[in-house]
């Protein structure tokens, strides 16, 4: 009930390509779904977030797609750049708790 399953564990994408990371949750009480980006040696930082009242949110090259009925959401990075190489964590939260996925290590080939 409390798990957030994230895939893939690692991802290699060519520069200019689309990077896609998927997450699934179980608890229907979750109502906030952020994505965090972490560079080596740094703490995670909020990248983009969505609430379940919308199916998509876009900020620059980053888009979250949300499927409430399937309890799935995904991060799309368009025109991926080497500077996007990082570890990405999805999360799901309600008023009481936030649960993070295990992370996806993304590497963009120059």
Partner 1 sequence: GAGVSQSPSNKVTEKGKDVELRCDPISGHTALYWYRQSLGQGLEFLIYFQGNSAPDKSGLPSDRFSAERTGGSVSTLTIQRTQQEDSAVYLCASSLTSGGGATDTQYFGPGTRLTVL
Closest by CA position to 49, among listed 62, 67, 68: 62
Instruction: Establish if 107 lies at the interface with partner 1 (CB under 8 A).
Output: no
**CB nearer partner 1, residue 19 or residue 101:** 101
Rounded to an integer, what distance in angstroms lies between the CA atom of residue 99 and that of residue 53?
A: 20
100 is a contact residue toward partner 1 (CB under 8 A) = yes
Q: How many residues bind partner 1 (CB under 8 A)?
A: 25
Point out which residues bind partner 1 (CB under 8 A).
6, 9, 31-32, 34, 36, 41-46, 49, 89, 93-103
């Amino acid at each position: 009930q409390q798990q957030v399953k994230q895939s893939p564990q690692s991802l290699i994408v060519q520069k200019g390509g689309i990077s896609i990371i998927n997450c699934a949750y179980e608890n229907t009480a979750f109502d906030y779904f952020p994505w965090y980006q972490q560079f080596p040696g740094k703490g995670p930082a909020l990248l983009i977030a969505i609430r379940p009242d919308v199916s998509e949110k876009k900020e620059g090259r980053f888009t979250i797609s949300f499927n409430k009925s399937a309890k799935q959401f995904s991060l799309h990075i368009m025109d991926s750049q080497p500077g996007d190489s990082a570890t990405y964590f999805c999360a799901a939260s309600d008023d009481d708790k936030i649960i993070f996925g295990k992370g996806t290590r993304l590497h963009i080939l120059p």
